Structure 1
Amino acid sequence: MRAATANEMREIDRSAIHDYGIPGAVLMENAGVAVVRQLEIIIEPISERKFCILAGKGNNGGDGYVIARHLVNQGGKVKVFLLGEKAAVSGDARINLDIIDRMGIDIIEITTERDWDKIKVAATFADCLVDALLGTGFRGEIDGEMALLIDIINDAGKLVVAVDIPSGVDADTGRVCGKAVQASHTVTFGLPKPGLFLYPGAEYAGELTVADIGIPAAIIVEQNIKQNIVMAGTIRPILPRRSPAAHKGMSGRVAVVGGSRGLSGAAAMTAEGALRVGAGLITLAAPGSLQDVLAIKLTEVMTRPLAETAAGTISQEAVVEIAALAADSDVLAIGPGLGRHEDTTAAVRAVIETLECPLVIDADALYALVGHTDMLADCAALPVLTPHPGEMARLTGLSTQAVNADRVRVARQAAGEWGSIVVLKGARTVVAFPDGEVYINTTGNAGMATGGTGDALTGIIAGLIAQGLSSHDAAVAGVYIHGLAGDVAAASGMVGMSATDLIKALPAALYGIKGY
């Protein structure tokens, strides 16, 4: 499913009106009707229920006036509160405001202290508040009277339905602009907006409905929208189908390079992730002194000792051994638990620079790339990088806060500059490609905020590549499966979940998607 930015949605609306001749009033009517249809599902019956429509002066308010008309026609008791004066409303919104005015619907212009008292009383006794204050085009910070009104909505403790997007949420980034309406449900039009899936905006959207308002499908194709929402239907067709006659050699070979003294667990979880997602043969190469520990820890994974430094990390001498292992493998995952010894980081760069097999690069291997990301463009196969926000901040020179403030833009820009697939982990994980295509994941939960879950993701993506998926498809499918396994594990309790719980849930997650 595609997701449109505010500018893209504005252009879609413009094209529908000017290129296809659909009157703006028709789109507004369809939008309002779509919200009423959802209200009919949420609140049954509409008749005799009390509704407060909180309206702004723009087209979002116009949608609210349409909603008011249809609710009244169904027997609802409606009050419309307009933040400002009627004289400031124009265009299609004014047409619909005049209609409900002639219908005798109660319209209160919030201009005096007494008007504020009226809205507080009405909100207290309403069954539902409809947020039609600000649309997707809002930019800036919420303050003054708008902030006061949003506080009234949020403090009322009522069912709140947002029109297109909760007021105060940035449609592109999910950023909350000082304050935002906490919606129970959001009905968005035409296409979903990225900010409805990205945190913190996703927390304010509540249950999301995407409504068709009659925009010609050709317009959306013409826009060449590059934001995608990852759902089960996105990845079900691309997952590998295992033959009834399959054997381990047909299911892919994964090489994992990781681990160091005191950090063997990270590499082990990467190997387990690859195993549990269906790869046939996994070899974990680690510093020689760790081999006995890892051999005991990982019953089904082969281990291989590598030359190491005095600090118990791999040394540059291990590069030849890693190259030999990679030559017998379908993919190489490198980084979890490697450590940051200067000899190790040099070895990592040599591996990235010389190997021709697909690479999944994580953790300390990302640290080795700080200041050296230019070498990624020369990789023989498109590499997959899986940074968390702190690692992305280190790689880009931004702050972690700046990375999280605009996850899609940061991931997209990095993927383009580095010629790589960038999997920016977090809530929500974003997958970006060098051509600007971006996928926003929809699975996962807060129970995954624990050590090792990122290491598991590295193994999952590598395991899918080994089974024949392109690096592109493996990254997208991997983040969805990873989050879904976390959701399966969380069914037994979110707090106290471990990465091992997630890894064990991978077969059930795959079965839920594909049925095998």
Structure 2
Amino acid sequence: MAWVTANEMRTLEASAFSSGVDPGELMDRAAWGIARRLLDYFPAPGRAVAFMGKGNNAGDAVAVLEILRRHGWRVSLRSCHPMIEWSVLTRQRARRAGLNPEAEIPSGPGPLLLLDGLLGIGAKGDLREPLLGMAREMGELRRHRGAWVVAIDLPSGLHTDEGTSGQGGVTADLTVTVGVPKKGLHADAAADRIGQLFLAPLEELPPPAGRAPRWAFPEAFPDLLPPRAHSFHKGDAGRVAVLAGSTNMSGAAVLSATGALRGGAGLVTLFLDPDNRAAPRPEIMTRRVGSRIEAAFDERADARVIGPGLGGLTPPQRKSLLDRFADPATPLVLDADALNLLAAESATALLAGHHLITPHPGEFARLAPDLAKLPRLEAARRFTDRHPCTLLLKGARTVVCGPGGDLRINPTGHAGMATGGQGDVLAGVCGALAASGISLTDAAMLGAWLCGRAAERAVTHGGQSQESCTAGDTLAHLGGAFRDWHERRR
């Protein structure tokens, strides 16, 4: 899904209206798209309060409240402007819903959502009173009462094109951008303001084509994960060989191999040292051999995952592994200690089109210290210009870049994924997707989306908090994440 500037978004809207689209109907469709995302994310009804300015962004918030109320939510409005100053559409939606501004927050069980309808895409600079006071109130409720702040289109105070935030800007937990993602959402500086990013697409507002970076929303890649044929068998699903884990780091091996299994691979073989007593799932074939590097590369496979928890290697082993990296016969997913080996041996020149590398920021800094301080999108593009591999740069906004500058940004996941083992799971899932025959760029993007979505489901459907989410929770919810991709439910 490509992006637009504020002016381009206004042009899209003006074009839709000139072609006969009714502004009120478009607002209602946008509200349903926003409400659908919230109802999926919060399966049990709770309380929702719209914090309103006086423009149409406030009307969107009111229309969302109307839908939530029909689904059992208790709702109310907060406004610092008299109703006579509201836009015509906002007044109409409030009257239709029978809602008037109130001072009280609804009481009762369930989550408390604060809908940020203060400002739209045209606002710039610092928030001023009386909106500043409302933004502060939202922040206090978020910090002290566990409220979730939901930004409509983008958080108030965030510059639509630049992604910078003025003084007093709203910090959202969820942002539901309407129609087309806005350019400022790309910025590294915007990540802490946006929270988790969702899309409410509108067919009346088509995104521009041929523009990078693209956001990894299922709507933008409808043919990427087609249904399996009824005659499908395990050979069709692909074979993955996993070379991971050392004697004292067997957990990484189990997580990455299980990630490959849960990621859809038909056959997964895990190669361990003879003295590694890890006990993977029974569905995973485990081989404990002294010459496991050679065995892992001699094994018939459609993709190989190399590196999670691999630990220290002897000089001959290091040379053997680097020699095998150069063989383009099979896609290689290189993670963790495989990346550390490339950095330590100054061997990044080996990286080629059959490699998918999955560094976190520290590993990326070791691979390319001169790029590590650049904005993430620029750093990723420059790295793949230098090394024609596929890069999955992990972080709060995971960035994928394939050869030729095919940049994509993953919107899924949350801060609870900052735990050990999540990267091991991701490497395995990417290996399974690569083994299925899709491009490494698609495998990286889809793997990041699925793991992030699975972690989200661990919170929304699994009863976990972000603080307690583990790599095992992500594994447990991968099936639901696949279903969400198919059904475009995020």
TM-score under structure 2 normalisation? Answer: 0.69
Q: Measure the CA separation in 1 of the matches of 2:115 and 2:473.
A: 41
Where does residue 342 of structure 2 map in the other structure? 369
CA displacement, residues 351-409 of structure 1 (integer Å, 9 cap, x when unaligned):
22234211111111111222332321xx3x43211111222222221697x46xx3333
Shift of 1:272: 0.9
Please tell me whether residue 229 in structure 1 is matched to residue 201 in structure 2: no
Shift of 1:479: 1.5
Q: Measure the CA separation in 2 of the matches of 1:508 and 1:178.
A: 39
Going from structure 1 to structure 2, the CA distance change for 1:286 and 1:177 (only over 3 Å counts) comes to: farther
Where does residue 180 of structure 1 map in the other structure? 169
Going from structure 1 to structure 2, the CA distance change for 1:193 and 1:166 (only over 3 Å counts) comes to: same
Going from structure 1 to structure 2, the CA distance change for 1:203 and 1:508 (only over 3 Å counts) comes to: closer
Local SS of the residue matching 2:241: strand
Q: Measure the CA separation in 2 of the matches of 1:284 and 1:187.
A: 40
Please tell me whether residue 166 in structure 1 is matched to residue 158 in structure 2: no
Where does residue 43 of structure 2 map in the other structure? none
The answer on whether the counterparts of 1:35 and 1:187 sit within 8 Å (CA) in structure 2 is no
Going from structure 1 to structure 2, the CA distance change for 1:191 and 1:510 (only over 3 Å counts) comes to: closer
The answer on whether the counterparts of 1:259 and 1:336 sit within 8 Å (CA) in structure 2 is yes
Where does residue 191 of structure 2 map in the other structure? 199
Going from structure 1 to structure 2, the CA distance change for 1:147 and 1:453 (only over 3 Å counts) comes to: same
CA displacement, residues 158-202 of structure 1 (integer Å, 9 cap, x when unaligned):
999978643543546755456523469978676212544762131
Select 1:335's aligned residue among 296, 307, 325: 307
Please tell me whether residue 419 in structure 1 is matched to residue 394 in structure 2: no
CA displacement, residues 211-248 of structure 1 (integer Å, 9 cap, x when unaligned):
78x87x5x923xx3112222344456322533333333
The answer on whether the counterparts of 2:59 and 2:91 sit within 8 Å (CA) in structure 1 is no
The answer on whether the counterparts of 2:240 and 2:302 sit within 8 Å (CA) in structure 1 is yes
Please tell me whether residue 155 in structure 1 is matched to residue 136 in structure 2: yes
Select 1:499's aligned residue among 471, 474, 477: 471
Where does residue 449 of structure 2 map in the other structure? 480
Corresponding letter in the other structure for 1:498: T
Count of residues paired in the alignment: 419
Please tell me whether residue 253 in structure 1 is matched to residue 246 in structure 2: no
Local SS of the residue matching 2:3: coil
Going from structure 1 to structure 2, the CA distance change for 1:241 and 1:390 (only over 3 Å counts) comes to: same
CA displacement, residues 92-131 of structure 1 (integer Å, 9 cap, x when unaligned):
xxxxxxxxxxxxxxxxxxxxxxxxxxxxxx9989999854
Which of structures 1 and 2 has the bigger CA Rg? 1
Structure 2 unpaired stretches of 5+: 28-53, 68-75, 96-100, 106-113, 142-147
The answer on whether the counterparts of 2:3 and 2:208 sit within 8 Å (CA) in structure 1 is no
The answer on whether the counterparts of 2:196 and 2:411 sit within 8 Å (CA) in structure 1 is no
Select 1:299's aligned residue among 258, 269, 282: 282
Shift of 1:273: 0.9
Q: Measure the CA separation in 2 of the matches of 1:436 and 1:425.
A: 17
The answer on whether the counterparts of 2:179 and 2:200 sit within 8 Å (CA) in structure 1 is no
The answer on whether the counterparts of 1:176 and 1:200 sit within 8 Å (CA) in structure 2 is no
Q: Measure the CA separation in 2 of the matches of 1:388 and 1:425.
A: 5
Q: Measure the CA separation in 2 of the matches of 1:249 and 1:74.
A: 55
Corresponding letter in the other structure for 1:230: A
Going from structure 1 to structure 2, the CA distance change for 1:231 and 1:446 (only over 3 Å counts) comes to: same
Shift of 1:339: 1.9
The answer on whether the counterparts of 2:171 and 2:194 sit within 8 Å (CA) in structure 1 is no
Shift of 1:435: 2.6
The answer on whether the counterparts of 1:2 and 1:229 sit within 8 Å (CA) in structure 2 is yes
Shift of 1:463: 0.8
Going from structure 1 to structure 2, the CA distance change for 1:422 and 1:280 (only over 3 Å counts) comes to: same
Select 1:38's aligned residue among 60, 71, 76: 60
The alignment-based identity, stated in percent, is: 31
Q: How does 1:29-428 map to 2 (within 5 A)?
A: 35=57, 37-42=59-64, 51-52=79-80, 68=87, 71=90, 131-132=118-119, 135=122, 151-157=132-138, 165-169=154-158, 171=160, 174=163, 176=165, 179-182=168-171, 191-193=180-182, 195-196=184-185, 199-203=191-195, 220-221=208-209, 224-234=210-220, 237-239=223-225, 241-290=227-276, 293-294=277-278, 296-307=279-290, 318=293, 320-325=294-299, 328-341=300-313, 343=315, 344-370=317-343, 371-376=346-351, 379=352, 381-397=353-369, 402=373, 406-428=375-397
Going from structure 1 to structure 2, the CA distance change for 1:454 and 1:69 (only over 3 Å counts) comes to: same
The answer on whether the counterparts of 1:340 and 1:367 sit within 8 Å (CA) in structure 2 is no
Moved more, 433-442 or 178-187: 178-187
The answer on whether the counterparts of 2:453 and 2:481 sit within 8 Å (CA) in structure 1 is yes
Corresponding letter in the other structure for 1:220: P
Local SS of the residue matching 2:275: helix
Local SS of the residue matching 2:409: strand
Local SS of the residue matching 2:428: helix
The answer on whether the counterparts of 1:481 and 1:506 sit within 8 Å (CA) in structure 2 is yes
Corresponding letter in the other structure for 2:362: G
Please tell me whether residue 458 in structure 1 is matched to residue 427 in structure 2: yes
Going from structure 1 to structure 2, the CA distance change for 1:147 and 1:124 (only over 3 Å counts) comes to: same
The answer on whether the counterparts of 1:274 and 1:462 sit within 8 Å (CA) in structure 2 is yes
TM-score under structure 1 normalisation? Answer: 0.66
Going from structure 1 to structure 2, the CA distance change for 1:419 and 1:166 (only over 3 Å counts) comes to: same
Q: Which is helix-richer, 1 or 2?
A: 1
What RMSD in Å do the two structures reach over aligned CA positions? 4.5
Going from structure 1 to structure 2, the CA distance change for 1:152 and 1:340 (only over 3 Å counts) comes to: farther
Q: Measure the CA separation in 1 of the matches of 2:85 and 2:314.
A: 65
Shift of 1:148: 7.6
The answer on whether the counterparts of 1:34 and 1:211 sit within 8 Å (CA) in structure 2 is no
Where does residue 2 of structure 1 map in the other structure? 2
Where does residue 44 of structure 2 map in the other structure? none
Structure 1 unpaired stretches of 5+: 55-64, 77-121, 309-313
Moved more, 262-271 or 351-360: 351-360
Q: Measure the CA separation in 1 of the matches of 2:116 and 2:471.
A: 41
Q: Measure the CA separation in 2 of the matches of 1:365 and 1:261.
A: 16
Going from structure 1 to structure 2, the CA distance change for 1:279 and 1:162 (only over 3 Å counts) comes to: closer
The answer on whether the counterparts of 1:417 and 1:434 sit within 8 Å (CA) in structure 2 is no
